[in-house]
Amino acid sequence: MFVNNADGIFFTASYLYICPKFEWNMIYITRRETFNAAHRLFREDWTDDKNTQVFGKCANPNWHGHNYTLYVTVKGELNPETGFLFDLKELSAIIRERIISKVDHRNLNVDVDFMKGRMASTEVLAMDELEDSIRIGGATLHCVKIAETENNFVEYFG
């Protein structure tokens, strides 16, 4: 069960009950942003055959791209004055500055500082984003979720 308004705000009530880091008496809000990027999954110490065997089409030496969808969920207590946990426009600006501006229209293997020397997988990307933890006002970062395709999602709870 969720509500998705024009600002991309999700209230995922049913999701909270299965979330491993769910805390009672907290409000959870999620901002959705999108970016696209190129990458290649491979290990230099493996042969081309082994890379293709393990990573499939994502091992293509000439790169390939994905349209990623990023969901950043923050949690905290409601501000009784505003009825907000956190201003979602401000959350959007923070995500764009700290994450989207670094990865959008880039090659994750060669253009992105925090991915240097690491596997350019969606899992690593999600974990690196959470390491630069968002702590703003009364809200703290709860989860980073990245959809690489319509069928593949990664969630990281730190």
Q: Which residues are catalytic?
A: 58, 105, 148
Query: Is residue 72 within 8 Å of 31, Cβ to Cβ?
Result: yes
| 147 is a site residue for Ni ion (CB under 5 A) | no
| 143 is a site residue for Ni ion (CB under 5 A) | no
From the CB of residue 78, how many other CB atoms can be counted at a distance below 10 Å? 14
Q: Which range touches Ni ion (CB under 5 A), out of 22-30, 51-59, 68-76, 120-128?
A: 51-59
Binding-site size, Ni ion (CB under 5 A): 1
Q: C-beta of 150: minimal distance to Ni ion in Å?
A: 14
Q: Which range touches Ni ion (CB under 5 A), out of 52-60, 78-86, 93-101, 109-117?
A: 52-60
Angstrom CA distances, 92 to 4, 18, 70, 127, stand at: 15, 26, 11, 19
- Residue closest to Ni ion (Cβ): 58
The structure tokens 């890379």 sit at: 51
- Antiparallel, parallel or unpaired: β 27-39 and 9-10: antiparallel
| 58 is a site residue for Ni ion (CB under 5 A) | yes
The single-letter DSSP state of residue 95 is H
Q: Which residues bind Ni ion (CB under 5 A)?
A: 58
